[in-house]
Amino acid sequence: MSLSKDEPVLRLQHISKQFPGVFAVNDVSLDVYPGEVHVVAGENGAGKSTLMKLLSQVEKPSSGTILLNHEPIRFHGPQHAQSLGIAMIYQEFALAPHLTIAQNMFLGQEPLRLGLIDRSTEIQRSRTLLKQVGLNIDPRRLVSGLSVAEQQLVEIAKALSLDAKVVIMDEPTATLTEQEIHELFNVIHNMTERGIAILYISHRLDEIFRIAHRVTVMRDGQVVATLPRAEIDEKKLIRLMVGREIANLYPKPSTTIGEVVLRVTGITRAHVLRNCSFELHAGEILGFAGLVGAGRTELARAIFGADRIDAGTIEVEGKKVRIKSPEAAIQAGIGYLTEDRKRDGLAMNLGIDQNITMAHLPVVAGILNLGQERRTALQARDQLRIRTPSIRRKVEVLSGGTQQKVIVARWLETQAKVLFFDEPTRGIDVGAKAEIFDLIGKLAQQGRAIILISSYLPELLNMCDRILVIREGQIAGAVEREQFSEERIIALATGAREIEAQ
């Protein structure tokens, strides 16, 4: 059954999902039309992800009706949703790395010939679908050898193989470069031209205004507004998402830049880093910019002792230090907030109190002082406004923004003079972002030396005093605040000399 663009391909009528004691989604009604990019925005915990799980049949609604092409659909699980033409592309890709591209694209729906899988047809169909998403690549290649951007396009091609009518994309640009984002948006445009509806979740406000036809804002499990893109601006969107005014998303304070706290000279690591040197001052927020894979995180990890170095020296407050492990870095006064807080930054099954004191245990005569641990955690909770009913609550149940605050509290307990913030706002909502940036600014005002690593240029341009641009493991250049521009940073990151000279 074909639909006109004036009729919804997908209709949600009074959909609710109740978990014990709480409504994750509460009486949501929503229409999605063929050929539109429909952005669903909201803070973490607003109900966006649960709603998408209901659409893709990962979860079963407690009440309400979902209609596809005007027909009510019954709950039979994710494969049933795919068979109906609803495809979900998760932030964590659902690809088998040990299989080829073609095998992944037709997994569970392999073409058969005489009762056997027809690999020739599978490869031929894969080539056709890959071309539709602009990926000129051999479908016989293993997925394990693909970049993140290539894997994402394979996921989209896989959705096209299902003849998807609705494609759900959850934070699709989280780890992509600006050029890769541009290419993804071109693919999305081509999909909408063919009448495919896109449900798009993103925390990046600029993306919403670049790509959306309509925006639905959720808060506390409910829809608070659905508006055409032309009727919404950034200020209005933030107010709808958080339920209050946020005066400044990037509260960069005025700070006094002091003496050199960290001096790095000639840091080299084979095939990764080459002769990297820079200085960082007290009260300064120094940005690390560059394309994904340029060496930003690798340089931070080398300074922190998480990765060995082949050459180079590190000085903290004028004293040369030998850092061969994170423990040595902590002793020297360096803290590192990892970009992957769940894997590397937190003990997810432990409480807030235990995570806060982990790097600086309150030990007396070899015995953990539980009273002091509690007092430390309570003080950190109040100082950083960590919202929790109990400091013994496991961090795995906290929002992304609250988890980030727990890590900050830990490093403040070590009295670290130098703090690396590696992608501190990845996966957290707009309200939490403003709080994290406010905290970073206050730490700089206290005289802490801050290095901010971000793939999102507006964060660096608004928050930093200087930006170091890293390209292919080397420092390509340093840009002072009065010279900041996106064009200059991108030119240094890509080696576009003719643009740099402008």
Q: Is the pLDDT of residue 21 over 90?
A: no
* pLDDT-based confidence at residue 387 (cuts at 50, 70, 90): confident
* pLDDT-based confidence at residue 175 (cuts at 50, 70, 90): low
pLDDT the model gives residue 227: 95
Is the CB of residue 441 less than 8 Å from the CB of residue 434? no
Q: Which of 179, 97, 103, 94 is nearest to 146 (CA)?
A: 97
Q: Check whether residue 172 and residue 303 sit in a common domain.
A: no
Choosing from 216, 242, 268, the residue where a domain stops is 242
Choosing from 211, 242, 273, the residue where a domain stops is 242
> Is 0.75 surpassed by the pTM of this model?
no
* pLDDT-based confidence at residue 282 (cuts at 50, 70, 90): very high
Q: Check whether residue 294 and residue 359 sit in a common domain.
A: yes
Once rounded to an integer, what is the mean pLDDT over residues 52-71? 93
Q: Check whether residue 319 and residue 200 sit in a common domain.
A: no
Q: How far apart are CA 374 and CA 380, in angstroms?
A: 10
- For residue 7, give every residue at least 6 positions away whose Cβ sits within 8 Å of its Cβ, in sequence order, or none: 33, 34, 70
Complete edge-to-edge strand list for the sheet that includes strand 63-68: 22-32, 10-19, 63-68, 71-72
The dihedrals phi and psi of 198, each to the nearest 5 degrees, come to -115, 125
pLDDT the model gives residue 289: 92
pLDDT the model gives residue 273: 96
Q: Is the pLDDT of residue 431 over 60?
A: yes
What is the helix (H) or strand (E) element at residue 168, kind and residue range? strand 166-170
Structure tokens at 482: 């009065």
Concatenating the DSSP letter of every residue in 259-300 gives SEEEEEEEEEETTTEEEEEEEEETT-EEEEE--TTSSHHHHH
Q: Is the pLDDT of residue 174 over 90?
A: no
pLDDT the model gives residue 318: 94
pLDDT the model gives residue 413: 75
pLDDT the model gives residue 362: 67
Q: Is the pLDDT of residue 385 over 80?
A: no
pLDDT the model gives residue 134: 83
Q: Check whether residue 357 and residue 429 sit in a common domain.
A: yes
- For residue 441, give every residue at least 6 positions away whose Cβ sits within 8 Å of its Cβ, in sequence order, or none: 251, 252, 253, 255, 285, 463
Enclosing domain of residue 211: 10-242
pLDDT the model gives residue 39: 95
Instruction: Tally the domains of the chain.
Output: 2
pLDDT the model gives residue 10: 95
Q: Check whether residue 40 and residue 130 sit in a common domain.
A: yes
Cα distances (angstroms) measured from residue 23 to each of 45, 279, 298, 390 = 11, 50, 42, 22
pLDDT the model gives residue 347: 76
Q: Check whether residue 292 and residue 388 sit in a common domain.
A: yes
Choosing from 207, 242, 277, the residue where a domain stops is 242
Q: Check whether residue 228 and residue 336 sit in a common domain.
A: no
Which of the listed ranges 16-25, 127-136, 303-312 does the model predict with the highest average pLDDT?
A: 303-312
Q: Check whether residue 318 and residue 358 sit in a common domain.
A: yes
Label residue 430 exposed, middle or buried (CB < 10 Å: 0-12, 13-18, 19+): buried
Task: Tell me which of 141-145, 184-188, 453-457 is least confident.
Answer: 453-457
Once rounded to an integer, what is the mean pLDDT over residues 30-54? 89
Q: Is the pLDDT of residue 262 over 90?
A: yes
Is the CB of residue 210 less than 8 Å from the CB of residue 37? no
Structure tokens at 37: 């990019």
Write the single-letter amino acid at 52.
M
pLDDT the model gives residue 500: 43
pLDDT the model gives residue 499: 45
Q: Is the pLDDT of residue 36 over 90?
A: yes
CATH of the domain at 235: 3.40.50.300
Structure tokens at 306: 């998480």
Is the CB of residue 163 less than 8 Å from the CB of residue 125? no
Q: Check whether residue 147 and residue 27 sit in a common domain.
A: yes
Q: How far apart are CA 392 and CA 386, in angstroms?
A: 12
Q: Is the pLDDT of residue 313 over 50?
A: yes
Write the single-letter amino acid at 267.
I
Q: Is the pLDDT of residue 1 over 50?
A: no
pLDDT the model gives residue 501: 40
Q: pLDDT tens digit string along 316-375?
A: 999 999 999 999 998 999 988 886 666 666 777 788 888 787 766 767 667 777 777 778
Once rounded to an integer, what is the mean pLDDT over residues 38-45? 83
**What residue spans of 144-211 are helical by DSSP H?**
148-161, 178-193, 205-211
* pLDDT-based confidence at residue 502 (cuts at 50, 70, 90): very low
Task: Tell me which of 226-240, 241-255, 409-423 is least confident.
Answer: 241-255
Q: Check whether residue 129 and residue 170 sit in a common domain.
A: yes
Mean pLDDT of the chain, nearest integer: 85
Residues pairing with 265 in the sheet:
313
